[in-house]
Structure 1
Amino acid sequence: MFNKKDKQETPSTDNMEDVNNAFDSTEENENPLADELNANEPVEASAESKLKDELAQANDKYLRLYAEFDNFRRRTNKERAEERQTAGKDTIVALLPVVDDFDRALKAMESTTDINAVKEGVSLVFNKLKNMLAQKGLKPMDAKGTEFDADLHEAITNVPAPTEDLKGKVVDELEKGYYLNDKVVRFAKVVVGS
């Protein structure tokens, strides 16, 4: 019934065993690859854990640096606030002897009848005050007779110039201007000739 050709096309049970054996051997061959992959998993896991550790260290460094900067900022702000509160301390301490002199002059004015002695005492105290302020960098501004400069002077009013050469210049000084270390701290209030 079967011819030779048909026998070759249909696998025999022996051939089936060979196919199964081949399949089993392929599975066995894949198992070493799978074992290699499984063996690589701990390497990958250790690489992953290593990266996680590095990330944790970087985060820790960042947090420490941020905290250090925040502390620095707070400390600097505190120091600045303290400096602002005590900025004029040296000047105030230097002015105290002048205040004491004025206090003594006022007491002396109550009991004295000699006006010239009081004038002389007040003049001495005023000179002491001017010298002390000059030591701190305060310098009076000479404005009278100079060209009007809006960066230095504050014009209160304009008046007709008494002479032609005083046009546009300071005719009178109502309030003296001052420099502190070559920077204007008070503008001179002046009358300008027009």
Structure 2
Amino acid sequence: MTESDLPTPDDEAADAAVGAPDDADDARRELARERDDYKDKWLRAHAELDNVRKRARREIAEAQTFAVADVLRDLLDVLDNFERAAGAAAANGDAEAVRSGVALIHGRLREILGARGLVPIPTAKGDPFDPGIHEAVMQMEGDGVESGAVLEVAQAGYRLGDLVLRPCRVVVAR
């Protein structure tokens, strides 16, 4: 081998320049493949998130249905008792028996609702009016009751935990 047969630095640079387009194409293909992989992973993650949301909505709806069904199942006993009381009243017309039956039904209904966390909101004559738990239905002159205080409870209010299901409907003193 002679000195002229040995590669020169110019020859090596020329060879590198000729190989460069192949390297660039390979790099471009690799980047495109990576991009496609990331896009595929993103699409799969997005689809999975949609599925999780749908599943959560479905499970919440089922839980609500079961909760309502549980309460209604207990209330069916109360309904049956009302029907028996009405039948007994029609059959023998004993007002005291009907009153006693209705009182028992009322007590049972309070037990069922109380077991589920429903509690009456305590309100009495003279209590200060609180718009968070009271709804004013009327204003009247108050006999010995401070202005702005509860004069009379027109309808009881109820809470479920911290949630006011129905405010106390009250008459407020002027």
TM-score (normalised: structure 2): 0.84
In structure 2, the residue matched to 1:123 is: 103
In structure 2, the residue matched to 1:105 is: 85
Q: CA 1:97–1:31 in 2, change beyond 3 Å: closer, same or farther?
A: same
Q: CA 1:31–1:143 in 2, change beyond 3 Å: closer, same or farther?
A: same
Offset, 1:150: 1.6
| Superposition map of 1:69-84 within 5 A | 69-84=49-64
In the alignment of these two chains, the number of paired residues is: 166
In structure 2, the residue matched to 1:151 is: 132
| Superposition map of 1:169-180 within 5 A | 169-180=149-160
Structure 1 CA distance, aligned partners of 2:31 and 2:162? 61
Offset, 1:177: 0.9
Offset, 1:37: 1.4
Give the SS at the match of 1:60: helix
Structure 2 CA distance, aligned partners of 1:44 and 1:92? 71
Q: Which amino acid aligns with 1:157?
A: M
Offset, 1:61: 0.9
In structure 2, the residue matched to 1:20 is: none
Offset, 1:136: 0.8
Q: CA 1:115–1:52 in 2, change beyond 3 Å: closer, same or farther?
A: same
1:54 alignment partner, one of 34, 54, 64:
34
Q: Which amino acid aligns with 1:107?
A: G
Offset, 1:124: 0.7
Larger Rg: 1
In structure 2, the residue matched to 1:23 is: none
Give the SS at the match of 2:34: helix
1:162 alignment partner, one of 143, 154, 174:
143
Offset, 1:74: 2.2
Give the SS at the match of 2:124: coil
Q: CA 1:35–1:192 in 2, change beyond 3 Å: closer, same or farther?
A: same
In structure 2, the residue matched to 1:7 is: none
Offset, 1:79: 2.9
Q: Which amino acid aligns with 1:108?
A: A
TM-score (normalised: structure 1): 0.76
Give the SS at the match of 2:28: helix
Q: Which amino acid aligns with 2:16?
A: E
% of aligned pairs identical? Answer: 33
Q: CA 1:81–1:174 in 2, change beyond 3 Å: closer, same or farther?
A: same
Q: CA 1:168–1:32 in 2, change beyond 3 Å: closer, same or farther?
A: closer
Structure 2 CA distance, aligned partners of 1:96 and 1:36? 88
